[in-house]
Amino acid sequence: MNSSGGLSGKTLGWIGTGVMGFSMASHLLKAGYPLVVYTRTASKASSLLEQGARWVDTPAELASQSEIIFTMVGYPQDVEEVYFGKKGIFSSLKRNSILVDMTTTQPSLSIRIAESALNKGAHAVDAPVSGGDIGARNATLSIMAGGEKDIVDSLLPLFQLLGKNIVYQGGPGSGQHAKMCNQIVIAGTMIGVCESLLYAKKSGLNPETLLGAIRQGAAGCWTLENLAPRILKGDYTPGFYVEHFVKDMGIALEEAARMGIQLPGLEKVQQLYLRLQEMGHGKSGTQALILALESLSEEG
């Protein structure tokens, strides 16, 4: 059993066992926490059940058996259903429970969840993450947390099982705004990396030799270090789905419009990702962007 002070012995609930959620839930199990699991596709949780997790049939049932509930699902509509649906978390939430939504979603939805939780004598934190499948597997995620600071602080022993960089951003919705900033940087970085590799190939350079030269210099970044090698191998398996990145960029652009600011770089990258999605790569990893750029070059 874990020995994390006030969290010792508490039952955790986990909803969503996709590319990242599965690894994250596994870390909590391995740390000795009792874990109740719900996911729409039961087979995705089978390995967690073998490790000792308990399965439930609905988010409502999970909420009735858990004191701290984590959600890591795909889209805002999934978050809406998991929390506010007929058999959702709020239909059977216990007083003093803590809700932790780690999905990247709309800041306004996170604020609504926080307000609804307080109305039921509970608390909510929005804590989206960055680091992809690699960060999830290695427990090195960056976690951007919004909500009541004392509640976020109380969750640190759990967050530290999932990531290495946990930063409190402010009140409800602040974690989601921080994640939008993260995604804006990634969008610009990804197109830069892909255009660089395309240029290298067309100019006759050896792309691997090129990477060896630039990854240690001013151009060095996570994307260049972790995803550029996958691109060179033609490996487009998802660390983060294209369709989810399209969703994130859409949220960021909606928020930017609401705030009255222009993000032309993000708009251009989103258009390229929409093209990639139309090419049938919605379930590919974000590094597949180079395929859209190659397609454009062939047309030109």
Q: What residue ranges define each of the domains in the chain, with the CATH number in brackets?
A: 5-171 (3.40.50.720), 178-299 (1.10.1040.10)
Q: From the first residue on, what is the mean pLDDT of each consecutive set of 10 residues in the chain (300 residues)?
A: 63 94 96 95 89 96 98 95 98 97 97 98 97 93 98 98 98 98 97 97 96 95 95 95 96 97 97 98 97 91
Residue that the structure tokens 């990258």 belong to: 269
Give the pLDDT of residue 300: 66
Give the pLDDT of residue 1: 36
Give the pLDDT of residue 5: 52
From the candidates 149, 179, 202, 268, give the one annotated as an active-site residue: 179
44 annotated active-site:
no
What value does the CA radius of gyration of the chain take, rounded to a whole number of Å? 20
- Residue 225's nearest CA partner among 287, 142, 143, 284 is 287
Question: Rounded CA gap, 295 and 5, in Å?
Answer: 55
Give the pLDDT of residue 246: 97
Give the pLDDT of residue 214: 96
